[in-house]
Chain A
Amino acid sequence: MGPRSTEERLGWLLSAPATLVTLAVAAYPILYAVWLSLFRYDLRFPDQRAFIGLQNYLTVLTSPLWWESLMNTVVITGGSVSVELVLGMALAILMHRALFARRTLRASILVPYGIITVVSALAWKFAFDPVTGFVNPLLNVEHAWLGERWSAFLVIILTEIWKTTPFMALLLLAGLTLVPPELLDAALVDGASRRQRFFRITLPLMKPAILVALLFRTLDAFRVFDTVFIQTRGAQGTESVSVVGYQTLITRLNLGLGSAVSVLIFLCVVGIALAFIGGFGTELARGEERG
């Protein structure tokens, strides 16, 4: 019992109000959703509500639609996050090394991220429209992009990349600025090439920032809804898990089944977060101690 633990206790007390509010606002809906998912509950027939245990989960997990949408979501997540990482890194380096108009450059790169997702999804939907869009004449093809599964995926992933690469770039830029320039200078003096400096010094030192950026983006990309809903409404086999949840919960007013879908999405997201933190938590901790 020393000064350290009273300080800790004071810390807990001071943050208690905020923690309690967050728990109430965030935890209550989650717990309520879990509770609802144990019932057969259709809002159109509220009197026929009945407790059925885990049967809703069984229905969801044995439905081919769920697994197809899960795969779709993984495709969209993997496709968009991987490209965003590379592009975001390139943009971050650009912003870091800009010789002039640094602030304007940084601000203008953030514009796509500032546009509302619905607006950007619509804009790209119109761009890829086979009759009125500009993409077909530009590429000299006659293709109904959103009419086929894989080209629709391409459009959705492209829209996601266009929209959130700036966010990645911003997070990576923050990591980039933390790399001590003396290390790079020393390496330059020692005769390291640009590639070696980037891959042997910059990247390893940026690992915590990269992991944070990846974690955020993957969690967000897994819950993609706006883009898919606006561009294809989930048709052509491009449904993401969130769209399935929406249709079950809001279009069909099936609270039991829809809550089961929501809880499963939540579990997947928690799984992703744990995988990142658990798998690379040591990296993050090391980064914290040094930074």
Chain B
Amino acid sequence: MRDRARIVRLPASLLLLLAACGGRDPASGRLGWYVFDERSGSFEEAARRCSDASAGAYRIEIVPLPADADQQREQLIRRLAAGDPDIDIMGMDVIWTAEFAAAGWILPWQEEPAAAVSAGRLEGPLRSARYRDRLWAVPFTTNAQILWYRADRIPEPPATWDAMIETAQELREGGRIAVQGERYEGLTVFFASLLASAGGRVLEEGAGVVQEEEGSASEGAFAVPRDAQGAALEGADSGVALSPQPTREALRILHRLATSSAADPGLDRAREDQARIAFESGDASFMVNYTFVWASARQNAPEVAEHMAWARWPAVLPDRPSRVTVGGINLGVSAHSPHPEEAFEAAACLASEENQRIAAARAGLPPTTAALYDEPAVRETFPFADLLRETLRDAVQRPQTPLYADVSLAIARVLHPLGDLDPGAGALRLREAVARALRSQGLF
């Protein structure tokens, strides 16, 4: 009799424990900010400052996400598709705006607050937060790649990719160019920047836009690309631009780089960090990478940092300045949030100038408000502030389509490994793959 009671007690107490663990009180005024774990603590600081400034209306709690953007997206979309009410504010990569907006996972800003938070922001980051003429997120930080080189080995930075490859091949030591060649988003970024610098684009203007009216049930397509008047674009390549000339030029450079002696042996597995390490170890005299490498080199490889110089991302055509894709973090409000008004307020506060200053100083994340680039403190963190602002002014967006994840996967798959790329055939395969991706067809 006693044994039976004991047997019942244990599972019962476990059940009670489980019940106590779950469920948050929705009225507590807690806002969940899902963003990657920023290790210098600048995001924590921003959350704390905005919570204090709200005078008790809300309290922002950071829920850390992985450092890798793809993994952040995976963590978020699962919860968003399931309607998780725990997410209030999200740190969104700039490429997710179209996808999240079309899926109804984020809320658009109203006209007045949108105008308020857009004031003074750089054009590139701002456009990344807009989709179909509405503002869906507030730009917080931004990023773009520039060219880093060893001033002690190269007197004058090369103006074009071809020139850079030739220069690197002639160097006796450290004659490598560190780029990102792994099959991931970074490769799509690389290709998109080269394509834009060659004057091309991946998608036609306005293509890849999801229509709300259900008219394509029989076609097996999710996003039927339509033109400005709303008529469906016919043809296998509807929506895909990728004009032959710029595409072939971009692929030619990728292929040339990968097959030259300037290519890193680990090119096919190289991401931003591998490129940084190659530069810091002295193996590479050139590197295209984001601005975080500046602080990293000062800390990890001071002998290299003292000869580290910067220049604009190399051009593809000699008479046309380069254009790179813009990166960064936008703050969006979840559509399933139980406190949307507070979340909008909090997001606007988090992206304010002071918090951008803190993020710039501590985490090395470039701000999105143009005026900050003139401030001495920011210019001290980013000695290349003018170059960065100029680059961001000319920056392009990656294809703004709800199916961007599929498009990016398709591009990375066709291009990787860079050494096997044939410019002519590759351009054709690229067009087919992107067209398929826009119709959400095919197994990638």
Chain B proximity of A93: nearest CB distance (Å)? 40
Chain A proximity of B105: nearest CB distance (Å)? 8
The 10 A-B residue pairs with the shortest CB-CB distance, nearest first, are A63-B443, A44-B103, A43-B81, A235-B183, A147-B268, A65-B443, A144-B266, A147-B269, A144-B265, A130-B266
Query: Is B220 in contact with A55, judged by CB distance below 8 angstroms?
Result: yes
Query: Is A130 in contact with B265, judged by CB distance below 8 angstroms?
Result: yes
Return chain B residues, CB-CB under 8 Å to A59.
441-443
B99 within 8 A of A: yes
Query: Is B268 in contact with A42, judged by CB distance below 8 angstroms?
Result: no
- 9 other A-B residue contacts (CB within 8 Å) besides A45-B102, A236-B183, A236-B417: A48-B222, A65-B443, A142-B265, A144-B269, A147-B417, A233-B184, A244-B443, A250-B74, A251-B74
Query: Is A144 in contact with B406, judged by CB distance below 8 angstroms?
Result: no
Q: Which residue of A lies closest to B278 (CB)?
A: A131
Q: Which of A54-73 contact B (CB under 8 A)?
A: 55, 59-60, 63, 65-66
A105 within 8 A of B: no
Interchain Cβ contacts under 8 Å between A and B, 9 examples:
A40-B220, A46-B81, A59-B443, A65-B443, A65-B444, A131-B277, A147-B268, A244-B443, A250-B78
Query: Is A147 in contact with B266, judged by CB distance below 8 angstroms?
Result: yes
Q: Which of A220-258 contact B (CB under 8 A)?
A: 233, 235-236, 244, 247-248, 250-254, 257
Query: Is B183 in contact with A251, judged by CB distance below 8 angstroms?
Result: no
Query: Is B444 in contact with A247, judged by CB distance below 8 angstroms?
Result: yes
* Interface flags, B80-116, vs A, CB<8A=1, else 0: 0100000000000000000100110000000000000
* Interface flags, B251-290, vs A, CB<8A=1, else 0: 0000000000000011111000000010001000000000
Return chain A residues, CB-CB under 8 Å to B127.
none
Q: Which residue of B lies closest to A142 (CB)?
A: B265
A52 within 8 A of B: yes
Query: Is B409 in contact with A50, judged by CB distance below 8 angstroms?
Result: no
How many residues of B are in contact with the other chain, CB < 8 A? 34
Query: Is A44 in contact with B443, judged by CB distance below 8 angstroms?
Result: no
A146 within 8 A of B: yes
Q: Which of A134-169 contact B (CB under 8 A)?
A: 142, 144, 146-148
Chain A proximity of B142: nearest CB distance (Å)? 25
| A53-B440 Cα distance, complex, nearest whole Å | 17
Chain B proximity of A261: nearest CB distance (Å)? 8
Chain B proximity of A232: nearest CB distance (Å)? 8
| A46-B105 Cα distance, complex, nearest whole Å | 12
- Our pick among B268, B281, B405 for the contact of A251 (Cβ within 8 Å) is B405
Query: Is A235 in contact with B99, judged by CB distance below 8 angstroms?
Result: no
Return chain A residues, CB-CB under 8 Å to B214.
47-48
Query: Is B70 in contact with A44, judged by CB distance below 8 angstroms?
Result: no
Chain B proximity of A264: nearest CB distance (Å)? 11
- Our pick among A44, A52, A146, A257 for the contact of B269 (Cβ within 8 Å) is A146
Interface centre among B183, B220, B441, B443 (most CB of A within 10 A): B443
Query: Is B222 in contact with A236, judged by CB distance below 8 angstroms?
Result: no
Return chain A residues, CB-CB under 8 Å to B281.
131
Q: Which residue of A lies closest to B214 (CB)?
A: A48
Using known A-B contacts A144-B266, A251-B405, determine if residue A44 contacts B99 with beta carbons closer than 8 Å.
Answer: yes
Chain B proximity of A125: nearest CB distance (Å)? 10
Query: Is A63 in contact with B442, judged by CB distance below 8 angstroms?
Result: yes
Query: Is B405 in contact with A45, judged by CB distance below 8 angstroms?
Result: no
* Interface flags, B415-435, vs A, CB<8A=1, else 0: 011000000000000000000
| A236-B419 Cα distance, complex, nearest whole Å | 12
Return chain A residues, CB-CB under 8 Å to B70.
251
- Our pick among A144, A148, A253 for the contact of B77 (Cβ within 8 Å) is A253
Q: Which of B385-444 contact A (CB under 8 A)?
A: 402, 405-406, 409, 416-417, 440-444
Return chain A residues, CB-CB under 8 Å to B443.
59-60, 63, 65-66, 244, 248, 257, 261
Query: Is A233 in contact with B103, judged by CB distance below 8 angstroms?
Result: no
Interface centre among A48, A148, A261 (most CB of B within 10 A): A48
Chain A proximity of B101: nearest CB distance (Å)? 11
| A230-B218 Cα distance, complex, nearest whole Å | 39
Return chain B residues, CB-CB under 8 Å to A52.
220
Query: Is B78 in contact with A42, judged by CB distance below 8 angstroms?
Result: no
Using known A-B contacts A52-B220, A236-B417, determine if residue A144 contacts B102 with beta carbons closer than 8 Å.
Answer: no
Chain A proximity of B255: nearest CB distance (Å)? 17
Q: Which residue of A lies closest to B265 (CB)?
A: A144
Q: Which residue of B lies closest to A143 (CB)?
A: B265
| A66-B443 Cα distance, complex, nearest whole Å | 8
Using known A-B contacts A131-B277, A144-B265, A248-B443, determine if residue A45 contacts B103 with beta carbons closer than 8 Å.
Answer: yes
Q: Which of B204-231 contact A (CB under 8 A)?
A: 210, 214, 217, 220, 222
Chain A proximity of B271: nearest CB distance (Å)? 11
Q: Which of A27-54 contact B (CB under 8 A)?
A: 40, 42-48, 50, 52
Return chain A residues, CB-CB under 8 Å to B342.
none
Return chain B residues, CB-CB under 8 Å to A131.
266, 277, 281
Using known A-B contacts A131-B266, A131-B277, determine if residue A254 contacts B441 with beta carbons closer than 8 Å.
Answer: no
Query: Is B74 in contact with A44, judged by CB distance below 8 angstroms?
Result: no
Chain B proximity of A229: nearest CB distance (Å)? 11
| A40-B216 Cα distance, complex, nearest whole Å | 12
Return chain B residues, CB-CB under 8 Å to A55.
220
Chain B proximity of A242: nearest CB distance (Å)? 14
| A252-B220 Cα distance, complex, nearest whole Å | 16
Return chain B residues, CB-CB under 8 Å to A251.
70, 74, 405, 409
| A250-B82 Cα distance, complex, nearest whole Å | 13
Chain A proximity of B147: nearest CB distance (Å)? 23
